[in-house]
Structure 1
Amino acid sequence: METLVEGAVEEALRDGRGEAVRLYVAACAERMAPLFVGLRAGVPGREADLDLYVESVSGLWLAHKPLADAAERVRWLKRFPELQPDEEGITGVADTYAFFAALCLRYALLAHNSGNADGCGSFGGTDPGGR
């Protein structure tokens, strides 16, 4: 069942450009940040990933213009273990939440860069992991 609010948000994102879309995706990524940071803090070798995540979320709030290095950040995100193909799939609860947090940041960066919520689906084909 579609709610009144859901339709209004969908319409605003579809019709909106630039700053409104950038603020929306910044808020989405911010909400997912505690999952990624909380689940990956203290994991050896993930310090740079944590820094990238936190710095990216911070940069997303600069909604008046695209991030100059958004494409590079997306390339780095693709290297995150959470977004790597795995024949067995993701089975652990912590890994599942970290995957969705990384995926959210990926789409937030793409939408922020384009200023268009529709544009983020055009990268990486049909697989939301960009594989």
Structure 2
Amino acid sequence: MVVDDAVAATIRGQSQAQVATFVASCAERMAQVFTGLSGDDPARNGDADVVIRLVEDLWNPAISAAAFRDYVTSLEGFQELEPSDEEIVDVAGIYSFYSVLVLRYAALYRSSADVEDALKCAHASLTAMGQLDRNLRGAEFFAQEAELQQHVSSLGDRGADPVQRLRDGDRAVSQQRLVAIQGRLTR
């Protein structure tokens, strides 16, 4: 699933702060998917803590690039990103993988300010939602993600109140995604 050309062009022309908000928004929409699917496993408590801290820090423009390099290193140690000859086939594993991938690209953007990492973050989000649509009859998560990416990319510099409203909306979307994926687990 490719990022919309207009979104990509807009992102490429934005300030670092605007793109940082874009990747924070993408990550927020996938965070509960990871914590909801992995959070019940005591062995993953540390991973869930990393994800929660990362998402919080993604919204904070004062966090240093070095801190995000540390997050990238942590995420690369998650089981979802470990090399394997086996294909991921279980539902929880697939969406946990996509969540970690989105988070990794968001952290990579904040560590280097390479806009291509922001676009990879958006691409991974779209791919995950496209796959979810294929597995849920009548779902429109891909269209929703594309629309949200368009919306966030079109916003200019924002103050604290609009960013908090954006984040609250993204949290609600993340919860909806988790509920839909958990519904697939019971089938």
Same topology, TM > 0.5:
yes
Give, in angstroms, the shift of residue 85 of structure 1: 1.2
Percent identity among equivalent residues? 36
Confirm or deny that 1:108 pairs with 2:116.
no
What is the aligned counterpart of 1:73 among 47, 71, 89? 71
TM-score by length of 2: 0.58
Partner of 1:87 in structure 2? 85
Partner of residue 126, structure 1: none
Unaligned segments of structure 2, at least 5 residues: 120-187
Q: Deviations over 1:33-90 (max 9, x none)?
A: 1110100011121111000001000000013564441111111111100111121121
Shift of 1:15: 1.4
Match of 1:45 in 2: 43
1:30 partnered with 2:28: yes
Q: Secondary structure at the match of 1:62?
A: coil
The structure with the greater share of residues assigned to helix is 2
Q: Please give the alpha-carbon distance, in whole angstroms, between the structure 1 residues aligned to 2:44 and 2:63.
A: 29
Q: Hey, which bits of structure 1, 4+ residues long, moved more than 6 A? A: none
Cα drift, residue 110 of structure 1: 0.7
Alignment correspondent of 1:10: 8
2-structure distance, mates of 1:88, 1:21: 35
What is the distance in 1 between the residues matched to 2:40 and 2:117? 34
Unaligned stretches of 5+ in structure 1?
Answer: 122-131
Pair 1:62 & 2:91 matched? no
* CA distance in structure 2 between the partners assigned to 1:71 and 1:95 by the alignment: 25
Q: Report the residue type matching 2:86 in the other structure.
A: E
Q: Which amino acid aligns with 2:28?
A: E
The whole-number CA distance in structure 2 between the counterparts of 1:63 and 1:25 is: 12
**Equivalent-residue separation in structure 2 for 1:8 and 1:88 (angstroms):** 36
Q: Which one is further off, 57-66 or 26-35?
A: 57-66
Q: 1:96 to 1:65 in 2, by over 3 A?
A: same
Contact 1:16-1:116 at 8 Å conserved across structures: no
One-letter amino acid matched to 1:76: S
SS of equivalent residue, structure 1 residue 46: helix
Corresponding residue of 2:132? none
Q: 2:144 maps to which residue?
A: none
RMSD: 2.2
